[in-house]
Amino acid sequence: MSRGRLDEIDRRILASLQENGRMTNVEVAERAGITAPPCLRRVRALEESGIIRGYHADVDPAALGYTITVFALVSLKSQAEDDLQAFEQHIAKLPEVRECFMLNGEIDFVLRVVAQDLQSFQRFLTSNLTPAPNVASVKTSLVIRKSKNDPGVPIPA
Amino acid sequence: MSRGRLDEIDRRILASLQENGRMTNVEVAERAGITAPPCLRRVRALEESGIIRGYHADVDPAALGYTITVFALVSLKSQAEDDLQAFEQHIAKLPEVRECFMLNGEIDFVLRVVAQDLQSFQRFLTSNLTPAPNVASVKTSLVIRKSKNDPGVPIPA
DNA sequence: AGTGAAATATATAGACC
DNA sequence: GGTCTATATATTTCACT
């Protein structure tokens, strides 16, 4: 059920759902220029092929008491694949870490971390992140504000 | 129409929609332990108060030809608010920059940048990012893989 | 692969507690 | 703020092209 490449209609569907993940299928179909049934089939195919990975409400962290967002730049002692995976498995268990990217260069990982306040962030840092397996250094920067928020990727019209 | 604090039911609604932004209202209501109509009212109130900022499909960048994701760590020459805003206004116009956070410390901004290939990324870097107003230094790191992807924030049960 | 109509399910508004 | 009922929409299936 995997199509090789996406056509213009698929791209319009993706653009619509990336912009508004709760748009009704009828409206997605209208924007894509087809009727609802084939549109729904395409959406399902995009979901099943993994091109659409999921749908998520963007919730204001402050509303749930998360006043602190931090980026943590982590360097490891060893970049052997086993050691990288050991670190990944460790952070997978930490709920404060919401996203983690493996990078090339001096910094091995960048983590987006949330916490209710500075004190609980410090506790997380000293108890869970700095002592993680294989960690050489951790540099943290507090987020002052989110300057731009365009989730996803550009989709050409 | 603004409630001061969120109750248990609101938190369950947020947890459900953060996990699956296309969950039907009926299922959101079931999980929250209430019936559909009051659940829908709560969802609308959460949307209107800005606690739910939006809903977005998580689209695999590779499917659209974006093989490159880069984190750019930008330091500015001046941290005066006017200069910070000038930089923010510049990057607001750049479609390659999907997210931008202002940070404390030596690094002033972290940017998530996507590109179709390394060549177009280099072009973006030398034509649009490094020459941006007030930029002192730009350090870039290529993303090798996304190790963890839990959008949003932890919501206690 | 798309259309149009029919069936099923969901969202939404209203009356009431 | 909640439930129950009724209606309007949307989703989903199906026969057909």
Reported as a single tens digit per residue, the pLDDT across B60-99 is: 999 999 999 999 999 999 999 999 999 999 999 999 999 9
CB contact (8 A) between residue B71 and residue A110: yes
**Could you tell me where in chain A the CATH 3.30.70.920 domains are found?**
61-142
pTM over cut 0.75: yes
Å: B37 CA to D7 C1': 14
pLDDT at residue B2, rounded to an integer: 39
**Could you tell me where in chain B the CATH 1.10.10.10 domains are found?**
8-48
Å: B31 CA to D4 C1': 20
Taking contacts as CB-CB distances below 8 angstroms, the residues of chain A near B17 are 56-57, 59
Q: Does A4 touch chain B (CB under 8 A)?
A: no
CB contact (8 A) between residue B20 and residue A103: no
Beta-bridged to residue A59, according to DSSP, are B52
pLDDT at residue A1, rounded to an integer: 36
What's the pLDDT band for B3 if we cut at 50, 70, 90? very low
Å: A29 CA to D12 C1': 14
Q: Does B157 touch chain A (CB under 8 A)?
A: no
pLDDT tens per residue across span B9-66: 999 999 999 999 999 999 999 999 999 999 999 999 999 999 999 999 999 999 999 9
Specify the fold of B61-142.
Alpha-Beta Plaits (3.30.70)
Report the CATH number of the A8-48 domain. Answer: 1.10.10.10
pLDDT at residue A87, rounded to an integer: 98
What's the pLDDT band for A5 if we cut at 50, 70, 90? confident
What's the pLDDT band for A67 if we cut at 50, 70, 90? very high
pLDDT at residue B157, rounded to an integer: 79
Determine what percent of chain A falls in helix, strand and coil, rounding each to the nearest 5. 40, 30, 30
Residue with nearest Cα to nucleotide C3 C1' = A35
